[in-house]
A = this chain, B = another copy of it.
Amino acid sequence: MAIRVGVIGTGAIGQDHIRRFSETLSGARVTVVSDIDAARTKAVADKYGARVEANGLDLIKAKDVDAVVVTSWGPTHAEFVLAAIAAGKPVFCEKPLATNAADAKKVIDAEVKFGKKLVQVGFMRRYDAGYIMLKEAVTSGTIGTPLMIHAAHRNPRVGESYITEMAIHDTAIHEIDCLRWLLDDDYVSAQVLKPRSTKNTHAKLVDPQIVLLETASGMRIDLEVFVNCQYGYDIQCEIVGEKGIARLPEPMQLDLLLDSKRSTRILTEWKDRFIGAYDVELQDWINATAAGKQTGPTSWDGYSAAVTADACVAAQKISGTVPIKLGKRPALYA
């Protein structure tokens, strides 16, 4: 009765998800795994009682796979998702859905042609308890119509391989999806400000950056992206409405009185910050899949994020604003 899941990609996040299906969540088990790293895949399969399929495309077609999880290298995502749609199987795809808007568009076209939503994109923030409270504060009318969002996405530090564009594609991408979901609106333009850089950055990274987004209804977002902030992994989000303001809660931490300071700990790892959200996200996907439904972030959401990210990267290179054009939303995603 449990859903038989095939997982493509047995790296860090793949293994983490396999562990979830096997030890934490209810209603699914991992039957097949696949990855280009054969030795690692064999070890993971043995640990969790799954079998190995050498090729991801074969895994998708396998009879003992009811649903697919794609946690492989980003550039391979679109191909596997398209194959899952072709096989008519539900697929959970870690972000990004595709590395460019054109490939994301192909997924939409295939899904629209298939006539049913099969894809859930791994935007896990929508499943974080704090963001869910924020969403409720908006939809319930508690703070009135939203007018602005002030947000920040801060990492303690990044390596030399992290370059300016990644501030958008790897970091701001979370807010790009999540804030759009919070506001239930589409973006129409992007601008990027470049403050004086921190001395803790390196030659190929402008850090921090401020991303300014405008929505169709005129709401304004300022998002600070600061990936060498030193002090912690810190996610801030404040929605300013016509009647009041709601702020994303801090993760629950002890209040300590020590050494002339009243303090609470700030986390330093994103995995710890959103650990609960991943559990909720995948349990929700299992439940929806078992019910023959799609309830999470869609491939349209993945496409929207890709288009917006492309505009932000373009905006990094000029001093003014870059328009964001999504095209017509297919009825499937209404």
Residue-wise interface mask of A (316-327) relative to B, using a CB-CB cutoff of 8 A (1 in contact, 0 not): 000111000000
* Chain B positions within 8 Å of A265 at CB level: 260-262
For A27, list chain B residues within 8 Å (CB).
23
Question: Considering only CB atoms, which chain B residue lies closest to A255 in the complex?
Answer: B247
This chain: copies in complex: 4
Closest to A137 in B: B254
CB of A76 within 8 Å of the partner chain: no
Are B244 and A218 interface neighbours, CB within 8 A?
no
Does A55 touch B at the CB level, under 8 Å? no
Segment at the B interface, from A88-96, A97-105, A139-147: A139-147
CA gap between A258 and B212 in the complex, in Å: 26
Residues of B close to A196: CB separation below 8 A: 145, 147, 217-220
- A253-B133 contact, Cβ under 8 Å, with A231-B244, A261-B263: yes
Q: Which residues of B contact A260 (CB under 8 A)?
A: 231-232, 265-268
**Chain B CB within 8 A of A306 CB:** no
A198-B259 in contact (CB<8A): no
Binds B, one of A63-71, A108-116, A222-230: A222-230
The one of B129, B195, B264 in contact with A220, judged by C-beta atoms closer than 8 angstroms, is B195
Is there contact, CB below 8 Å, between A133 and B254?
yes
How far is B117's CA from A272's CA once the two chains are assembled, in angstroms?
A: 34
| Chain B residues whose C-beta falls within 8 Å of the C-beta of A143 in the assembled complex | 256, 258
Within the complex, the shortest CB–CB distance from A148 to chain B, in Å, comes to 5
Asked whether B231 lies within 8 Å of A258 as measured between CB atoms, the reply is yes
Q: CB of A193 within 8 A of chain B?
A: yes
Cross-chain contact A222 with B250 (CB below 8 angstroms): no
Residues of B within 8 A of A252 (CB): 129-130, 249-252
Contact for A245 among B145, B231, B248, B251, CB less than 8 A: B231
Most chain B CB neighbours (cut-off 10 Å) among A199, A208, A248, A257: A257
Please indicate the chain B residues that have their CB under 8 angstroms from the CB of A198 in the complex.
Answer: 144-145, 147, 242
Query: Do A266 and B256 touch (CB < 8 A)?
Result: no
Interface pair A262/B257, CB less than 8 Å apart: no
Cβ of A15 under 8 Å from chain B: no
Known: A240-B208, A261-B266. A145 touches B254 (CB 8 A): no
| Cross-chain contact B224 with A150 (CB below 8 angstroms) | yes
Contacts of A195 in B (CB 8 A): 147-148, 218-220
A: residues with CB less than 8 A from B are 22-27, 129-130, 133-134, 137, 142-145, 147-148, 150, 152, 193, 195-200, 208, 210, 212, 217-220, 222, 224, 226, 229-232, 234, 240, 242-268, 283, 319-321
Which 6 A-B residue pairings sit nearest by Cβ, starting from the closest? A196-B218, A244-B258, A263-B263, A195-B220, A247-B255, A245-B257
| 21 sample A-B contacts, Cβ–Cβ < 8 Å, listed by A number | A24-B26, A24-B283, A129-B252, A130-B252, A134-B254, A143-B258, A144-B198, A147-B226, A196-B218, A196-B220, A199-B242, A230-B244, A231-B243, A231-B259, A232-B257, A245-B256, A249-B253, A250-B252, A260-B265, A262-B265, A320-B320
